[in-house]
């Protein structure tokens, strides 16, 4: 069979499809978005009627996937690392309820923050929830781990966390596929206690969860994704790699045999027995892991006298932050480093900017006219293309923290006396996490003006649909925003007089106003026009 | 054969299409391939790069180590310079000379060209004009690819075959425009 050339994300999606998945759930977020996008384009998924539409946010997505699992079917939820913060509640509690049909929680981390607010490492969540974690090292493992993850999940009735990182999620390579297997039949939960976390039941279930840990450990020890190479010409150093760090190790040694023992980890919890063997047989250890020093910290625990040196990101053998690469790994071994010519001084940065003609641009420029008299520090914002409104020539916004925080921070600031307090939030972000914040504002009759940027899409991540499309006014009305304080304008230069008038009136109103800036993202518009000409 | 190629440009200039064409030709030969792509924030008119690794032997890292790329293939001259630390001593720069100016502080072209010409092996040429001359205005990226293929050890036929396979769904006219663009690039010295 010819190899399929797939991104890590796509390989995981294809693996899940071939492994009999019934539903993908998720919210877009780089670098995880292509998992569901692949399923949305897949003929196989369409023919088998696999669920693959977007959810409002990561929490609703994980809960829906848990519901599908509770009904006996295989489900996967996908998100970027910060999405797991939003879904942390169902994560921690589904670890206790457990799963029924195979449940994979696929999370893509973004070390070096290529397009993220932070570089948190999802393996901490795996440890926290005490569930098995799979970390593929290449595209083929992404594919294979879908099968393996569902089986592991069903064997122990436990959700399995699968951690990807940017370089694997967004790198393409050939994969060999397997014969697809059919979906599970729908079946009602047999155990009426399983999803009922009343304290008395939860305590028992937690005990059971603790007992499962030794099974998870045994699975790691025997995992096809963990490999322990003991033969070595030198025992000066023992090496532990996780996920794709193994590739950088091999690259650093130019594909030659590694002279030291190597423990390659692709499945957690860490196989303690092998770690002990490695520790006992070598003078020092070096941990090479993508992301935060999760394994290194675990091994070091509390430093005590007599501990052999354990090297890694915590002692400067590898940088404390950021992505790994072959050169950084080579340096950790004091291997000769390679570096080309320096970047000439004349080379300047080319930072991303709002597209020419972007609707956000007109919303910001008109807002600036009205806000000029108050100075900076009044406009709380959020995450999306419009975060670029912080940059010149706009300099319009002052915050970007986590999805939805614009509205709630503006409310808190208003509570403390700031006037005016303005929130600028994207339409998709509003539906993700802004609605509940708006309800808080209405409940307290906070003096805030909330600008919703309705560009009809989730533009930042490439133009996905979102759940509240076409319903923004109805949502605001339904929550209790007064009809006369829901204002709509079209962000175009010729409308500036009208727009600034609207802003002024709503700033003057002592209460909650919602101003909707409605014009489609020009990128999605272009795509649509292109499709129409093809048809 | 083993080729490590850095593809460079600005979002929307078509470097991923170049990667797909080279990848298709390499797979036809039975080679291994890894290609790290850029998605996300950097697509809003920012710089984009892709690491393309082709080899008869297994490939480990998705990223090309510094100082070991055989070629920087760039559709924009300033972007060609941004990745110099990846280029090996005797590596090639193949670059379009037409600047893409979407920043206020874009350096003077002459200075950019001077820096590129310091590299022993380079091809610097106006691919935009060649593409336009072929009535293939949107195929500047394929012109640049054309200038690179012999340095990468691919034959014209292999690349043509890949182009036909990839652009076929878009219709005969687009296939033909891209084949003309490729030829214009190949004839560049
Ligand atoms: C919890 C969380 N989930 C997902 C993301 C990724 N993400 C950043 S912005 C964004 C969507 C922005 O869409 P919208 O609010 O409509 O603004 P636009 O980009 O269209 O201007 C997403 C999905 C994130 N940063 N945090
Ligand atoms: S992609 Fe759309 S929303 Fe984002 S900057 Fe471009 S036009 Fe604006």
Average of pLDDT values for A495-511?
A: 98
CA atoms of B127 and B123, how far apart (whole Å): 11
The confidence score (pLDDT) of residue A375 equals 95
Average of pLDDT values for A131-139?
A: 98
Burial A193-222 (b: 16+ CB within 10 A, else e): ebbebeeeebeebeeebeebeeebbebbbe
The confidence score (pLDDT) of residue A439 equals 98
- Whether ipTM > 0.90 holds is yes
Average of pLDDT values for A405-422?
A: 98
CA atoms of A273 and A296, how far apart (whole Å): 16
Position A132 pLDDT exceeds 50: yes
Position B41 pLDDT exceeds 70: no
**What are the tens digits of pLDDT across the range A194-229?**
999 999 999 999 999 999 999 999 999 999 999 999
Order the strands of the A237-242 sheet from edge to edge. Answer: A227-229, A262-265, A237-242, A284-288, A310-311
B64: nearest Cα among B91, B42, B45, B40: B91
Q: Which residues of A touch B59 (CB under 8 A)?
A: 173
Statement to judge: residues A72 and A113 lie in one domain = yes
Whole domain around residue A173: which residue ranges?
4-221
**pLDDT averaged over chain A?**
96
For residue B167, what is the enclosing H or E element? Answer: helix B156-167
Statement to judge: residues A298 and A321 lie in one domain = yes
- Number of domain units in chain A: 3
The confidence score (pLDDT) of residue A2 equals 63
Helix (H, G, I), strand (E, B) or coil at A354: coil
Q: How far is the CA of A495 from the centre of ligand 2 (A)?
A: 19
Residue A139 near residue A113, CB atoms below 8 Å: no
Mind giving me the DSSP string for A194-206? TT---HHHHHHHH
Domain boundary assignment for chain B: 2-186
Position B149 pLDDT exceeds 90: yes
Average of pLDDT values for A486-513?
A: 98
A514 within domain boundaries:
yes
CA atoms of A127 and A129, how far apart (whole Å): 5
Position A109 pLDDT exceeds 70: yes
Q: How far is the CA of A439 from the centre of ligand 2 (A)?
A: 28
Statement to judge: residues A197 and A241 lie in one domain = no
A339 within domain boundaries:
no
CA atoms of A11 and B62, how far apart (whole Å): 15
The confidence score (pLDDT) of residue A352 equals 85
Position A342 pLDDT exceeds 60: yes
A354 within domain boundaries:
no
Where helices occur in A196-345 by DSSP H, the ranges are 199-221, 245-252, 272-281, 294-300, 326-332
> Is the CB of B85 inside 8 Å of chain A's CB atoms?
yes
* CB–CB contacts below 8 A, A to B: 155
Q: How far is the CA of A399 from the centre of ligand 1 (A)?
A: 14
A505: nearest Cα among A382, A410, A414, A420: A420
Statement to judge: residues A292 and A439 lie in one domain = no
CATH of the domain at A316: 3.40.50.920
Statement to judge: residues A138 and A21 lie in one domain = yes
A534 within domain boundaries:
no
Statement to judge: residues A95 and A136 lie in one domain = yes
Share of chain A above pLDDT 90, in %: 93
Query: Which B positions 134-173 lie with beta carbon below 8 A of chain A?
Result: none
Question: Does ligand 2 have an atom closer than 6 angstroms to the CB of A456?
Answer: no
Average of pLDDT values for A153-159?
A: 98
In terms of DSSP bridges, do strands A133-134 and A267-268 run parallel, antiparallel, or are they unpaired?
A: antiparallel
Position A305 pLDDT exceeds 80: no
Q: How far is A348 from chain B (nearest CA, A)?
A: 7
- pLDDT band, very low/low/confident/very high, at B43 (cuts 50, 70, 90): low
> Is the CB of B106 inside 8 Å of chain A's CB atoms?
yes
A368 within domain boundaries:
yes
Statement to judge: residues A368 and A264 lie in one domain = no
Question: Does ligand 2 have an atom closer than 6 angstroms to the CB of A401?
Answer: no
What does the block give as tokens for A250? 């091999």
The confidence score (pLDDT) of residue A353 equals 87
A136 within domain boundaries:
yes
Q: Which residues of B touch A350 (CB under 8 A)?
A: 10, 45-47, 78-79, 102-103
Q: How far is B122 from chain A (nearest CA, A)?
A: 14
CA atoms of B17 and A530, how far apart (whole Å): 18
Residue A469 near residue A427, CB atoms below 8 Å: yes
Position A303 pLDDT exceeds 70: no
Mean pLDDT highest for which of A200-214, A347-361, B7-21?
A200-214
User: Final residue of a domain: which of A199, A221, A243?
Assistant: A221
Task: Name which of B23, B34, B88 is nearest A340 (Cβ-Cβ).
Answer: B88
Position A71 pLDDT exceeds 70: yes
**What are the tens digits of pLDDT across the range B159-176?**
999 999 999 999 999 999
> Is the CB of B2 inside 8 Å of chain A's CB atoms?
no
What is the SS3 string spanning A88-138? HHHHHHHHHHCCCCCEEEEEEECCCCCCCCCCCCCHHHHHHHCCCEECCCC
Statement to judge: residues A187 and A232 lie in one domain = no
Statement to judge: residues A421 and A392 lie in one domain = yes
Which of the listed residues A57, A85, A383 should we mutate to test ligand 1's pocket, taking the one with most ligand atoms within 8 A of CB? A383
Share of chain A above pLDDT 70, in %: 98
Position A257 pLDDT exceeds 70: yes
A343 within domain boundaries:
no
Q: How far is B146 from chain A (nearest CA, A)?
A: 23
Which of the listed residues A353, A520, A523 should we mutate to test ligand 2's pocket, taking the one with most ligand atoms within 8 A of CB? A523
Task: Name which of A247, A337, A350 is nearest B60 (Cβ-Cβ).
Answer: A247
Position B53 pLDDT exceeds 70: yes
Q: Which residues of B touch A255 (CB under 8 A)?
A: 57-58, 60
Position A304 pLDDT exceeds 70: no
Q: Ligand 1 atom closest to Cα of A387?
A: 21
Helix (H, G, I), strand (E, B) or coil at A316: coil
CA atoms of B25 and A286, how far apart (whole Å): 40
Say which residue, B40 or A491, is predicted with more confidence: A491
Nearest chain B residue to A254 by CA: give it.
B60
A306: CB partners within 8 A, 6+ apart: none
Statement to judge: residues A276 and A373 lie in one domain = no
Question: Does ligand 2 have an atom closer than 6 angstroms to the CB of A521?
Answer: yes
Statement to judge: residues A407 and A312 lie in one domain = no
**What are the tens digits of pLDDT across the range B67-109?**
999 999 999 999 999 999 999 999 999 999 999 999 999 999 9
CATH of the domain at A393: 3.40.50.970
A353 within domain boundaries:
no
Would you state the CATH architecture of domain B2-186? Answer: 3-Layer(aba) Sandwich (3.40)
CA atoms within 13 A on the CB side of A140: 12
Share of chain B above pLDDT 90, in %: 92
User: Final residue of a domain: which of A221, A236, A251?
Assistant: A221
**What are the tens digits of pLDDT across the range B106-138?**
999 999 999 999 999 999 999 999 999 999 999
Other CB atoms within a 10 A radius of the CB of residue A353 amount to: 19
Question: Does ligand 2 have an atom closer than 6 angstroms to the CB of A519?
Answer: no
Statement to judge: residues A163 and A23 lie in one domain = yes
Residue A5 near residue A172, CB atoms below 8 Å: yes
Residue A496 CB-density burial (10 A; 0-12 exposed, 13-18 middle, 19+ buried) = middle
Please give the DSSP secondary-structure letter assigned to residue B83: T
The confidence score (pLDDT) of residue A535 equals 43
CA atoms within 13 A on the CB side of B105: 6
CA atoms of A305 and A440, how far apart (whole Å): 53
B73: nearest Cα among B148, B10, B20: B148
């Amino acid at each position: 069979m010819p190899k399929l050339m797939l991104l890590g994300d796509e390989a995981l999606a294809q693996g899940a499809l071939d492994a009999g998945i019934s539903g993908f759930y998720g919210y877009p977020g780089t670098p995880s978005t292509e998992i569901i996008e692949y399923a949305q384009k897949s003929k196989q998924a369409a023919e088998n009627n696999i669920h693959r539409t977007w959810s409002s946010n990561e929490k609703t997505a994980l809960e829906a996937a848990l519901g599908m699992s509770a009904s006996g079917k295989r489900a996967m939820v996908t998100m970027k690392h910060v999405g797991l913060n939003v879904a942390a509640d169902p994560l921690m509690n589904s670890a206790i309820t457990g799963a029924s049909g195979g449940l994979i929680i696929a999370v893509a981390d973004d070390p070096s923050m290529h397009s993220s607010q932070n570089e948190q490492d999802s393996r901490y969540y795996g440890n926290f929830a005490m569930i098995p974690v799979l970390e593929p090292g290449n595209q083929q493992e992404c594919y294979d781990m879908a099968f393996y993850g569902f089986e592991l999940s069903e064997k122990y009735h436990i959700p399995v966390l699968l951690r990807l990182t940017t370089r694997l999620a967004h790198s393409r390579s050939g994969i060999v596929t397997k014969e697809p297997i059919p979906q599970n039949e729908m079946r009602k939960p047999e155990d009426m206690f399983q999803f009922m976390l009343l304290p008395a039941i939860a305590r028992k279930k937690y005990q059971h969860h603790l007992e499962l840990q030794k099974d998870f450990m045994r699975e790691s020890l025997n995992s096809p994704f963990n490999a322990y190479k003991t033969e070595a010409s030198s025992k000066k150093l023992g090496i532990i790699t996780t996920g794709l760090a193994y590739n950088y190790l091999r690259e650093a040694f130019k594909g030659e045999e590694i002279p030291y023992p190597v423990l390659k980890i692709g499945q957690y919890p860490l196989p303690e027995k092998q770690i002990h063997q490695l520790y006992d047989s070598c003078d020092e250890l070096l941990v090479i892991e993508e992301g935060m020093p999760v394994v290194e910290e675990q091994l070091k625990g509390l430093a005590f006298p007599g501990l052999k040196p354990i090297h890694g990101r915590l002692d400067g053998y590898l940088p404390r932050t950021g992505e790994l690469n072959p050169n950084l790994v080579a340096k950790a071994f004091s291997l000769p480093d390679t570096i080309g010519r320096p970047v000439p001084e004349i080379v300047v940065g080319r930072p991303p900017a709002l597209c020419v003609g972007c609707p956000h641009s007109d919303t910001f420029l008109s807002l600036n006219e009205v806000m000029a008299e108050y100075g900076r520090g009044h406009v709380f914002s959020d995450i999306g293309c419009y975060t670029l409104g912080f940059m010149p020539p706009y300099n319009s916004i002052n915050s970007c923290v986590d999805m939805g925080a614009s509205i709630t921070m503006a409310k808190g600031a208003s509570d403390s006396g700031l006037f005016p307090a303005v929130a600028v939030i994207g339409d998709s972000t509003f539906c993700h996490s802004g609605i509940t914040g708006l309800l808080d504002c209405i409940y307290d009759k906070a003096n805030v003006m909330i600008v919703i940027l309705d560009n009809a899409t989730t533009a930042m991540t490439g133009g996905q649909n979102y759940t509240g499309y076409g319903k923004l006014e109805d949502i605001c009305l339904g929550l209790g925003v007064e009809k006369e304080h829901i204002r709509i304008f079209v962000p175009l230069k010729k409308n500036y007089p009208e727009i600034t008038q609207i802003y002024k009136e709503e700033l003057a109103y002592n209460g909650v106003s919602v101003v909707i800036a409605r014009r489609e993202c020009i990128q999605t518009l272009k795509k649509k026009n292109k499709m129409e000409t093809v048809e | 054969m083993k080729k490590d190629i850095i593809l460079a440009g600005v979002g929307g200039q078509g470097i991923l299409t170049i990667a797909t064409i080279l990848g298709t030709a390499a797979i036809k030969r039975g080679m291994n391939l890894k290609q790290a792509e850029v998605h996300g924030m950097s697509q809003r008119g920012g710089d984009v790069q892709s690491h393309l690794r082709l080899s008869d032997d297994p490939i480990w890292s998705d990223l090309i180590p510094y100082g070991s790329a055989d070629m920087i293939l760039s559709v924009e001259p300033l972007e060609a310079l941004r990745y110099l630390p990846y280029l090996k001593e005797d590596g090639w720069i193949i670059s379009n000379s037409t600047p893409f100016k979407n920043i206020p502080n874009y350096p003077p072209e002459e200075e950019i060209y001077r820096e590129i010409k310091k590299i022993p092996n380079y091809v610097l040429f106006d691919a935009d004009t060649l593409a336009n001359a072929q009535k293939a205005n949107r195929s500047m990226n394929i012109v640049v690819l054309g200038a690179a293929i012999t340095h990468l050890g691919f034959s014209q036929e292999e690349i043509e075959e890949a182009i036909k396979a990839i652009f076929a769904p878009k219709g005969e006219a687009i296939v033909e425009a891209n084949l003309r663009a490729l030829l214009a690039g190949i004839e560049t010295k």
